Chains A and B, each alone.
Chain A
């Protein structure tokens, strides 16, 4: 099995008529993803590479039965696009777009939480999600992911997500689902959401989690692992030697407290029983050791 998306997921691409949307929409379709529709209010009735274009997500859902959307719309339009997708009736929304203002993210995150509680948002500013062999929604290169499990991957950074997939592929280890949650201030899907899904997925036997400095998402994930996970978790945190980022003034320092540094995150993870690698390769080796023992 896989989490969040599989071969039955039907995806509408918001922004399929743009250069990025068209390029990745085509790659995703070639991978085997059910790319059933695109949206563009000015081009409804047209087609892009054989995929029908609708005025909005609601129309696409009615005509094609789409149940997920992938957003490639430029940052200024993302806020409206997310609401269009939720009102249109899809239950899974992936926002690839980077550069979305933090206030927009906070707004649509809370709007969904309140008015569309059964809709899952992934991103913004993320590489997307791939359930190898079944569906690839976003900008991940499909061939670096080996299908089949037993490992689930969740990662904050795009290229490190690829690196994680690659490390496992090099060791001939398959992946159930790889989720790139993105590094923005208000990610729609958190580490914990993914850990919970992997814990519940019978085919996922272990989880690889790649984090990075800043915020407290990794510490929260560590607490979840400690309290609620039975499956082994391997982690790597990027930014061990990074100098402190730009000061966010006193208010930011208080919010983060002692959290946010790589050392604090690794300590929290180790304390929760997570095996922590000091670089992606070491994390891959730790995972290989775990998988070999299954």
Chain B
């Protein structure tokens, strides 16, 4: 899960990483009160999980209450690339002498943790990586040993920071690694990490992504889960414990297993259709899970047909079939369904479904044929919907003409 900047800074602060004094607020009144408490100048920063908020006018400097009020009221409610600003972070403005970049993440290829440090911070680090890769000092950290002080000092030296920043950087990076490792983070990133004119090193931004799988030892992370950005469909799926990614097509997809679900999205696209979503119902396919999945798909108004693609491994075909039958009794659907059922006891499953088959519930023997049928049905349904619309438009024209004649 990705944290907002204010959550990331609070997370950093717990590990002793210096961040600016500040507070996250949701109203203009609170923004001004916080600014008054901290003392001017303050920075008013939009809290959205998308880059480029500065350019969009989401970061402003305020020297007095008047300005704090003005900026907070402009930024709260602002739309930045489709993300609405509900929270602003107010913090004490910092004097900046130099801007650096620092991060830790997992290097999956090396199977070690990777630290990156650069004297060229405050800008898009991808650009630095592309144009001047030597400007990024990299270090691999063995998870068994952790980051040693000797290693950390050599790394800081390799990055050619201002010598005045050395001690502060070693201190922050040591704490940043602790936050990364003990906090079970997928990513911790400070950009910019700043050196102030009076020689302090300080995190001016915070990007933190935490491992969802670690929540069992960090029960406090539930608060972050509650603030994750999801669209309505994704939220609905999340509440039902389903792995869902919303897409913008018309063929709803339900499959068991992430790989098969991805493969189903591929195959629908390959035969000329547009998938409405990726939905992995996991290993089991009982009535509750299937009904939940159908409810989520049903809530998507773009869906014109549904493709249920199940490969029974240990999950038996008859259990899957019964799950589908019971789910259909509980969820009323307009869109036609195409089922492909293979694997363990698939024959028994197909027998259960056979007497219920109709135009609205079809079965196909292979993934490919099922995908083709689902795509054709989506087209037919879309054409019908368009037909209904043009008909009603024609009707209203006729009625309008009648009205004019009268």
- Compute how far the CA of A248 lies from the CA of B116 in the bound complex, rounded to whole angstroms: 14
Asked if A1 lies at the interface with its beta carbon under 8 angstroms from chain B, I say no
Give the Cβ gap from B341 to chain A, nearest Cβ, in Å: 12
Contact A278 B189, beta carbon cutoff 8 Å: no
Contacts of B311 in A (CB 8 A): 159, 162-163, 166
Q: In the complex, what residue of chain A is closest to B270 when comparing beta carbons?
A: A278
Contact B313 A144, beta carbon cutoff 8 Å: yes
Contacts of A166 in B (CB 8 A): 311, 342-343
Contacts of A185 in B (CB 8 A): 106, 108
Contacts of B260 in A (CB 8 A): 157, 159-160, 163, 238
Q: In the complex, what residue of chain B is closest to A257 when comparing beta carbons?
A: B129
Asked if B191 lies at the interface with its beta carbon under 8 angstroms from chain A, I say yes
Asked if A241 lies at the interface with its beta carbon under 8 angstroms from chain B, I say yes
Main secondary structure of the interface of B (DSSP, over half): mixed
Asked if A210 lies at the interface with its beta carbon under 8 angstroms from chain B, I say yes
Contacts of B344 in A (CB 8 A): 141, 143-144
Contacts of B312 in A (CB 8 A): 141
Contact B266 A278, beta carbon cutoff 8 Å: yes
Contact B368 A241, beta carbon cutoff 8 Å: no
Asked if A122 lies at the interface with its beta carbon under 8 angstroms from chain B, I say no
Residue among B108, B216, B269, B343 with the most chain A CB within 10 A? B108
A residues bordering B, Cβ < 8 Å? Answer: 24, 27, 75-76, 99-103, 106-107, 109-111, 113-114, 127, 139-141, 143-144, 155-163, 166, 183, 185-186, 210, 212-213, 215-217, 220, 236, 238-243, 246-255, 278-281
Give the Cβ gap from A162 to chain B, nearest Cβ, in Å: 5
- Compute how far the CA of A251 lies from the CA of B136 in the bound complex, rounded to whole angstroms: 11
Contact B256 A159, beta carbon cutoff 8 Å: yes
Contact A246 B2, beta carbon cutoff 8 Å: yes
Cβ-neighbour of A139 out of B108, B216, B262, B313 (below 8 A): B313
Contact B213 A110, beta carbon cutoff 8 Å: no
Cβ-neighbour of A250 out of B103, B106, B109, B278 (below 8 A): B103
Contact A158 B259, beta carbon cutoff 8 Å: yes
Known: A210-B259, A238-B266. A106 touches B313 (CB 8 A): no
Known: A75-B216, A101-B184. A253 touches B126 (CB 8 A): yes
Contact A249 B266, beta carbon cutoff 8 Å: no
Q: In the complex, what residue of chain A is closest to B267 when comparing beta carbons?
A: A279
Asked if B209 lies at the interface with its beta carbon under 8 angstroms from chain A, I say yes
Contacts of B107 in A (CB 8 A): 255
- Compute how far the CA of A253 lies from the CA of B144 in the bound complex, rounded to whole angstroms: 25
- Compute how far the CA of A75 lies from the CA of B214 in the bound complex, rounded to whole angstroms: 9
